[in-house]
Chains A and B, each alone.
Chain A
């Protein structure tokens, strides 16, 4: 009877909140990130890139002051030979920073032999993984916001006028999108940090994925589209079919999604992603800017797609981590 009562006293479900201790982890990890040499180097790198690219852009667009309503957007998108525009740098710098923040998140605790001591504290693994992700994410947000403010500051001084309301709104959404783009790479790097016990392997796997999407995917997409939807006689339908497949495939790459978001936000004249048929141009004044709400509508699928994949990667890392033996 007494034994029965004792049995009943033990709840079936896991006790307590899975997030117990989450903020302790976040704060510790963020402090680590912000003081680490690794991040110092990357911060300097992105700072120099930003200053260089924006300065070059400024030289180019000075002449159009007063005529262009979206001068501040041009700060990010104007390139001047031989430098690409700042956003061009971002497409590959953001992944690099995010990977640097995540590739040794979990396996690092194993190799330092701190994992069992950590998990012997009254927290769940959920809090550890989530805490590490959030710390990386907040660090990304902090770094990018600082850079963002710096560029706008440079713009105000260099161009001699403040940004307009819509410009600020577009740039803000661009900032958020950039942080989420980083979030994707962070989740990927963390997944590898759970999967591979060696930090070097995880870093290599993350960088391989990054290289694949940055360099090889666009080539591969062309090849696949040509093979699956060959243009035999040169009919317009054939060409359209091939191009559409190409666009669909290239959107599997987070880089493409992010680039499209950038284009739509920072180039208000952009009316559609992908193939534009003449019929879609009907009634549109060529080159006239799209209102912000329309641009946001345009990037909505890309942004939600990016976030969805990030959540998926995190969930995968979570499942793997929950099942992991904690003994090194």
Chain B
């Protein structure tokens, strides 16, 4: 079983009576990418700050790498990298000088710092502009410098708050690729965002935040199962008598609904990806298979559906 690196139990934060995070239980395993999702003000940033010991929890327990961030902040912060939602640098210093300050704060020796700075700058593609003042950098370059900054301490966990905010689609895509590379190296990543398709593209598991509570968590498929009762839509293009096809497809276990979506097109609603089973059933019933596709449930659907339900529940 994979090792737990972040665990919270009943974690609560109140600001003058306003509950920002409410009895949060969160478990994150080594090497996974976990996405914190939720609307504005749902408590994502507050949770992150408590994980880093930058804000004292009102109640509850946090363990990061088996350490208590409130009591052992130095050990936690030496091993956990943080990319804040609005990242800033010293504009009059160069990229290299900015990173060098971080290295010194982490107590690295001169030689080690130089090596790591070179590596980090090369890695995020800022090597050519390393000696330019950061004030001249674009938003995307600053964001990449932020990643380099986090990499200086060779973290085991990286926590990112809205990392793709303000990046153009291409920049965001490249950024997500970087995140996947980091995961390859065994770094655990916690990502707070409300850009759903991006989260879906990289996250192994997601947690849906609402008003300080984590409503549901799991893989996208699990959430789909939980929230949309059946998530997958399978499309078949089969030539054959419809009156034979529909019962045959309906008989496949796990399929909850079958309907015609065109002359030779059928739409199936299923609990999981049942393409192979559906195709086999169609062929067995005497059909000629021309096309087969599946629409994986999107996080968008899940999210919208979930918050519609929440609103609905609150209204009634």
Chain A residues in the interface with B (C-beta under 8 A): 6, 10-16, 20-21, 24-25, 27-28, 32, 112-114, 116-124, 325-328
Contact = CB atoms under 8 A, between A and B. Distances in A.
A117 B75 contact: no
Contact of B101 (A15, A20, A24, A122): A24
Return the 8 tightest CB-CB contacts between A and B, nearest first: A113-B88, A120-B82, A24-B104, A121-B105, A122-B78, A116-B84, A122-B77, A16-B74
Contacts of A16: 74-75
B72 interface: yes
Contacts of A14: 71, 73
B82 to A, nearest CB: 4
Given A16-B74, A24-B104, 14 more contacts: A112-B91, A113-B86, A117-B84, A117-B88, A117-B102, A117-B149, A120-B80, A121-B102, A121-B105, A122-B73, A122-B74, A123-B77, A325-B55, A326-B55
Contacts of B107: 20-21, 122
10 contacts: A13-B71, A14-B73, A15-B75, A28-B101, A114-B88, A116-B54, A116-B84, A117-B88, A122-B78, A122-B106
Contacts of A15: 71-75
A118 B105 contact: yes
A123 B102 CA distance: 11
Interface residues of B, number: 34
Nearest to B152: A121
Interface in B47-100: 49, 52, 54-55, 66-68, 71-75, 77-78, 80-82, 84, 86-91
Contacts, number: 89
Nearest to B149: A117
Given A24-B104, A124-B73, A119 B78 contact: no
B88 A20 contact: no
Contacts of B80: 120
A131 B149 CA distance: 21
B90 A114 contact: yes
Contacts of B55: 325-327
Contacts of A28: 101, 104
A34 B102 CA distance: 20
B45 interface: yes
B74 A326 contact: no
B104 A326 contact: no
